[in-house]
Structure 1
Amino acid sequence: MTEAFSNGYLISVDTTHLPEMELNPPYKHFFSYQITIKNLSNQPGQLVSRFWEIVDGIGSKETVNGLGVVGQQPIIEPGNSFTYTSGCPLISSIGKMSGHYVFLNLENQATFKVDIPPFELIPAYHLN
């Protein structure tokens, strides 16, 4: 598990390689990742958008921008957390992801970034 603290939020990431997933070419490998976002600040925040940079083991890069996560723009109260699972197809068997969320402070309407810790997408058989 990978973790990072940024602007009052603790982000935890856990990844899983799913070799049984059937993918359309050129993608050959699929990883799921579960992210838990915990609000350790004293103000409620709403996750409004995300930005990802995905780098494949062969060097290809892809960026992803969008509203919310998995179709939601969750409000996270102080002390509470939000967990979601998503996925990432890759051409090669290894890769990495990094990025950030944009949050809206619901008390003063200011937006701010929360960094997502960089994490690797590596099947267990590459680690042995």
Structure 2
Amino acid sequence: MEQKIEQKIIISVSTWFREDLSDVENNNFFFNYKINIQNTSNERVQLTHRYWKIEHLTLGSSVVSGSGVIGEQPILGKNESFDYISGCELWNPYGRMSGFYTFLNIETNEEFTIEIPSFKMVYPPLLN
């Protein structure tokens, strides 16, 4: 599990390989990732935007950017958290994701960004 704390927002990430959605012989490796976002500040914040850079080892990278996450723009009060699960298809057995979330402080109407901890996705047989 990867974790990062910034501006009293804690972001934790865990990943797992999805053999049932992968086609290893054709270099399609599917991974799920679970994100936990915890607000430890005293103010309400709203996640408004995401930006991901997906690195496909030797095959370049791709970018995913858009409003909120999984169709939501969650609002987190003091000590509240939000979990979601999403997925990523890699073009080879090893990759990495990194990026940031943009939040809106509900009380001050100020936007700020929080870096998402970089995390690896590795086809399990490569770990042996």
TM bucket, shorter chain: over 0.9
TM-score (norm 2): 0.94
Q: How many corresponding residue pairs?
A: 126
> Which residue is 2:37 aligned to?
37
Counterpart position of 1:60: 60
SS at match of 1:58: helix
For residues 81-118 of structure 1, the C-alpha deviation after alignment (integer angstroms, 9 at most, x for no partner) is 00000000011011000000000000010000011000
Deviation at 1:124, TM superposition (A): 2.2
Larger % of helix: which?
2
Q: Answer whether contact 1:7 1:113 (CA < 8 A) is retained.
A: no
Alignment partners' CA distance in 1, 2:83 and 2:27: 26
> C-alpha root-mean-square deviation of aligned residues, in Å?
1.3
Once the two structures are superposed, residues 38-58 of structure 1 have per-residue CA deviations (whole angstroms, 9 ceiling, x without a partner) of 001110100000000000022
Q: Aligned runs of 1:83-102 on 2, under 5 Å?
A: 83-102=83-102
Contact 1:27 1:89 in 2 (8 A): no
Q: For residues 37 and 123 of structure 1, what CA distance do their matches in structure 2 show?
A: 26
Q: 1:102 to 1:56 in 2, by over 3 A?
A: same
Matched, 1:111 2:111: yes
Aligned equivalent of 2:14: 14
The verdict on how the C-alpha distance between 1:22 and 1:117 changes in structure 2, with shifts beyond 3 A counting, is closer
Aligned identity (percent) is 38
**Offset of 1:20 from its aligned partner?**
1.4
Unaligned runs of 5+ residues in structure 1 are none
CA distance in 2, matches of 1:22, 1:38: 31
In 2: Cα distance, 1:29 partner to 1:11 partner: 24
